[in-house]
Amino acid sequence: MANSNTNINGTDKQIIDKSWKKFDLFLNNEKYIDVTFLWKNNEKRIGAHRIVLAASSIYFDKLFNTDRGKAAEIYMENIAPEPFSLLIKYCYSGTLCPNKQNAHTLLTTAAILKLDEAADICVAFLKGSNKGPQRVPRVNPSIIGANLRTIKTTLTPTMSMTTKYSILAVQKCDAQKDNESRAYRSNQGDKRWLQHGIITRTKKFSDIAYSERRLIYVGGCLDDGAPTNKVDAYNLETQKWKELAPMKSCRANVCVVTVKGFIYAIGGYDRDQENPLKTIEKYDIRTGQWSSVPDMSRARRNATAVAVGDLIYVLGGFGKDWNLLKSVECFNVITSSWSDCADMHSKRFCCGASTLNGWIYAIGSGNIPPYSRDVECYNPKTNKWTRIAPLEVARHGVSGITINGQLLAVGGSLLNYYKGFVDVYNPAENRWTKAVPLPSGGYYKCFVVPTDELVKMESSRKRSVSLNRA
């Protein structure tokens, strides 16, 4: 006689339920974890099991079949860690408990992750029919997420299903003939670059940060070649300049990076190019004030900085007496402390840098021939650098940027002419391929910015021009 838990087709419901309870236990004990989700600006780390997530949602099933999804650590974009954590737990337990504070966020995130049943729970809560913790039966993953139309209709107009991002590429005026620079945007999906504006009055040998629709030019040289402590903001929407509070020190060939509302100005030189600075200062975007930061262990100019969560990695540059460096050091913005990292294989200055799947990539080097096309990547967990495929064309002034899970090497110049090179790296095949080039060559600083933000700026400028002509 068949067990009371077994149906006519021989399906034992008891063993299915027991197995899922085991999965939940494995999750709580962090046992057999084979994938970890991370965020660039948050210390949260969420471990899980691929097979459970893939069985629960077609979103994860498709993700784990991509190059990005095959990595042991996956950086998430457009999804906050708090609702993501609750929905991962839901994949194991089938239980979700929305409240007034998180129901809308959970609904949006569930729609992105194609967890229809979780979204239904949120919809029921928002409509007032919530009766406490909700549990729904598990369904075949092939039909999960098949129909999101009912979920989309419950979203208010201000709730975006997902935020799209574009690259904002800004020319740097470091050559003698430069008197203006151009800015372009591209999401790399539409296979084109669109001009976003023309910027005049820029300084040479400064570095650039982006904040609240402004390009912030830090340090650089005046017309007579003297280093300056000036900081100027260019509003991309109004096309107007504004002078900000000056730095404590003059800095040319400085490198800057933005972390948690602060712009860090790192190294450079103030008078003598052979004696660079090891001092750091940071600008509070909210208060508009500069403050000092503990010094680096080595003085550097023409270095490159890249942020990973609360950590700032400073790569190479020139040391004292034009000594070219391959050393790397790391600053923790929470503890305000520095630590040394393993040296790169190659000495580098003015290199490109970005992160992909938790690794840091150092791309090319130099503004003095011969230029380098050498590329290597750093694993913070093992503190080791590994050489990877080089760029097809050696050039200087390359900017590294990561968008939509892709690492790009943007711009750069050859010996006697500029090219708008753009290369994309494929980690699975360890090779670089050419992408749509920029309309203009040169040295670039790149930023990842919400596409809607850039489009609205362009629309505002066009309206302003029309009114002025009228």
Is a pLDDT exceeding 60 seen at residue 29? yes
Alpha-carbon distance 354 to 170, whole Å?
16
| Better-predicted residue by pLDDT, 220 or 367 | 220
Are 142 and 262 within one domain? no
Are both 196 and 112 inside the same structural domain? no
Q: Is there a single domain that holds both residue 405 and residue 366?
A: yes
pLDDT tens per residue, range 423-460: 999 888 899 999 999 988 888 999 999 998 999 888 77
The residue from 118, 152, 186 where one domain ends is 152
- Same domain? For 184 and 260 the reply is yes
**Angle between helix 103-112 and 116-126 (nearest 10):** 160
Pick the range with the lowest mean pLDDT from 37-51, 150-164, 266-280, 321-335.
150-164
Considering the domain architecture, whether residues 30 and 145 belong to the same structural domain is answered as: yes
443 lies in a domain? Answer: yes
φ/ψ (deg, to 5) at 267: 65, -140
pLDDT-derived band of residue 417, with 50, 70 and 90 as boundaries?
Answer: low
Q: What does pTM read for this prediction?
A: 0.67
Q: Which domain holds residue 298?
A: 166-462
What single letter denotes the amino acid at residue 196? H
Q: Are residues 172 and 136 in the same domain?
A: no
Whole-angstrom Cα Rg for the chain: 25
Q: Is the pLDDT reported for residue 186 higher than 80?
A: yes
338: number of Cβ within 10 Å: 18
Measured in whole angstroms, the distance separating CA 166 from the mean position of its chain's CA atoms is 11
Determine, yes or no, domain membership for 10. Answer: no
Which tops the pLDDT comparison, 253 or 414?
A: 253
The verdict on 129 and 217 lying in the same domain is no
In a domain, residue 347? The reply is: yes
Within 8 A by CB and 6+ apart from 313, the residues are 305, 306, 307, 328, 329, 330, 341, 353, 360, 378
Are 141 and 213 in the same domain?
no
Per the domain annotation, does 369 fall within a domain?
yes
Q: What is the mean pLDDT of the chain?
A: 83
pLDDT at site 264: 98
Total domain count, the chain: 2
Residue pLDDT, tens place only, 337-381: 999 999 999 999 999 999 988 899 999 987 777 888 999 999 998
In a domain, 157, yes or no: no
Task: Check whether residue 144 and residue 176 sit in a common domain.
Answer: no
Q: Are residues 57 and 87 in the same domain?
A: yes
Using alpha carbons, select from 118, 207, 127, 146 the residue that is nearest to residue 447. 207
3 state SS of 307: strand
